[in-house]
Amino acid sequence: MNEREGKIMSTTSPAGRSPINVPEHPWFYKLLWFCGMVVIAVALNTSRMTWSILLLKKFGITFSGGPTLILLAMIYLMLSLKEVGANEVAGAFCYGKALVRLSPGLHFIPLFLMQVLKAPRTVQEFQCPDDPEKIFKGDDKETLPLGMTRPIRAVTRAPENIEKDILDTRMALSVNFVVQYAITDIFDYVANFGGSSEEIQKQLRDIGEVTIVEDITQNTPASFIKNLPKINLKLAEQVKERFENSGVNIISVRLLSPDISHEVSMALAGIPKARAEAAQVEARAEGEKTRLTKEGEGKGAAELALLTAQANGRKVIMDALKVKGDIVLATEAVRGLSDKTDVLIVGAESGMRDVMGLVKGAQGALGTKTKKGVES
């Protein structure tokens, strides 16, 4: 490809956003194709006229002209036949000049007049900036080890007053994203990327890094994770817009969850455990509270039942003995004393003496016995 052709192929569109598609030159392709067929036809026709002529006889080597030219014509034809696989995109060139795009199948590409360039049509995938095991985790001041790649890293903004999430803080995030793409046009692919998949990946990393870093600096880690679907959509639009008419179709661009530091990850991993333990303590306390409440309710109910039974019993005594309630209560107050062998009340009032008299007189009804009377 000459210098002028390269400049034409890399020219951007009037909008300045994407390259212009490389045009085909089918008339030139047909001319060269015809020239290749002429070469074979001339060789075959000459073989008929020189069938009996011996070649290189004076060197002691004899060749029959006819069969030799037929053989050469067949060799030229075989070397000019090129196959394009179903999983490939291909195009015919004439020493750098784009001719026509070739469909899958067998094509006649005259030797020494045209060339064929092929590329895989299958979907390819890679991670930017690189596979996780090839991303250098050390400081940017350190020398980059051979075969390693610098991470895509940026610092988030400071949190606002209303942002209270544990990840609403300023910190450095490392991100990577996964890209799936397929080569769809051989001419545009060669013009924009020189036929190199490494150049595709380099440009994808550049445009992706610019877009992602811009979003990181406008978010905290918490809001960045929350807005990840929107950021993914923006990233996909930016990348697809850049690769429009480039011969490469961007199928998918997905930003992975940001990589925070190992220490922060471990601390966050411990939060669910701490919450579970707190919930366990709270559940135990609530259970103990319920137990004590139920026990209190049970004791209260038992006490109420006892008091109710006692009240009913006193009422029966009042009805049976035809006495007032205070007499029954006084009787119960000294009931425990009625089982004693000797009962002595010093300085008892007349009411109490009456009560004791009633107790003494009602011993049969109450089931008690005394050995002595009541003395004042």
Mean pLDDT for all residues in the chain:
77
What are the tens digits of pLDDT across the range 1-46?
Answer: 444 344 334 444 444 455 678 999 999 999 999 999 999 999 998 8
**Residue 146: CA atoms inside 13 Å, Cβ hemisphere, count?**
0
What are the tens digits of pLDDT across the range 162-198?
Answer: 887 777 888 888 889 999 999 999 999 999 999 899 9
The per-residue pLDDT for 132 is 83
Confirm if 10 and 19 have CB atoms less than 8 A apart: yes
Question: Residue 153 pLDDT more than 50?
Answer: yes
The per-residue pLDDT for 20 is 73
Cβ neighbours of residue 360 closer than 8 Å, sequence gap 6 or more:
370, 373, 374
284: confidence class by pLDDT, cuts 50, 70, 90:
confident
Report the pLDDT averaged over residues 137-158.
85
Nearest alpha-carbon partner for 99 in 166, 10, 190: 190
Find the helix or strand (DSSP H, E) in which 127 lies. strand 124-128
The per-residue pLDDT for 366 is 45
Question: Residue 150 pLDDT more than 80?
Answer: yes
CATH topology for the 125-260 domain: Tetrahydropterin Synthase; Chain A (3.30.479)
The per-residue pLDDT for 332 is 64
Residue-range domain boundaries for the chain: 3-120, 125-260, 269-313, 323-376
Q: Which residue has the higher pLDDT, 125 or 263?
A: 125
Report the pLDDT averaged over residues 123-132.
89
Matching residue, tokens 């067929």? 37
How far is Cα 173 from Cα 154, in angstroms, rounded to an integer? 6
47: confidence class by pLDDT, cuts 50, 70, 90:
confident
**Residue 363: CA atoms inside 13 Å, Cβ hemisphere, count?**
15
The per-residue pLDDT for 357 is 56
142: confidence class by pLDDT, cuts 50, 70, 90:
confident
